Amino acid sequence: MQFQMKNEKCKIVVRGVFTFLILNFTLALVACAVPHVSSRVVYEDPTNFVRLEFDHRVLPDRLETRHAHPVAIGADEMTAILKGLSVRNYRLRVHTWISGEADFEPAFTEAEIELLAEKLADALAKATPEERVTYYLSTPQTSVKRQITSGGLYMQGSELHFTLSNHREIYGIPAHGMVYDRRYPVLPIAPKDFEVFFDPGHAVVPRNFSLWDVIWGLEKDDVVIDLNKLRPAKSVASFLP
């Protein structure tokens, strides 16, 4: 009887060790499978950054996928663009019927706009046709949590594609493992609960979304702005040599 109990204990220990090894092996495979994104730093401080990242959607054999970079956009113009962006919490149709739509709020604070405007403009002036600009803003909440706002942008012709991937999301810094929010600023860290808008609305380019975009909520965080409709009639996006 005693031998049988010891035998069962040994089986439990072996099973636990085996499970631990399998779990760690699986986590290692997942970590290895995450692709490295090559990037260039335009601006970085301990909590924020603006970078240039290689855009995997740009295909070498398809010139139409290349971005219109480098491009000159003034800091004042970028300030106006950032001020024109707003967000609204997404509500289910039933909730809207009962309570109406949620209120709009600015996508960026005055301090964030002051920090970002010139640096985003500088990044677009340095970007290659294969790169997109990414930005990341964070505010520490506790020693293991921070509030983040992040996303990316790029130009196609006179159209600015502006993505707000995360807006005031609380991110718990993992004790072990990869820190995804800083490494992948254009990826949402939580299910989308907001929509992005731009004012004036006449400058927003209507878009068609695929089922995949809808499933991932990408139709809510990306707005395309025709800069020619924000500028005087004779003004067009100017490209750097």
Residues 14 and 121 in one domain: no
Q: Are residues 11 and 58 in the same domain?
A: no
235 pLDDT exceeds 50?
no
Instruction: Please check whether residues 3 and 117 belong to one and the same domain.
Output: no
Q: What is the pTM of this model?
A: 0.76
Q: Which domain holds residue 19?
A: 1-33
pLDDT score, position 231: 78
Structure tokens at 233: 């009639």
Phi, psi of 220 (to 5 degrees): -95, -20
Average pLDDT, the chain: 79
Round to whole Å and give the CA distance between 241 and 239.
7
How does pLDDT run across 108-150, given as a tens digit for each residue? 999 999 999 999 999 999 999 999 999 999 999 998 899 999 9
Q: For residues 108 and 177, which has the higher predicted lDDT (pLDDT)?
A: 108
Q: Which residues contact 126 (CB under 8 A, 6 or more apart)?
A: 40, 42, 52, 70
* Same domain flag for 54 and 142: yes
- Cβ contact 161:108 at 8 Å: no
Per-residue pLDDT tens for 185-208?
999 888 878 889 999 999 999 877
Split into its structural domains, the chain has a count of: 2
Distance (Å, whole) CA 9 – CA 28: 29
129: its two tokens: 């046709």
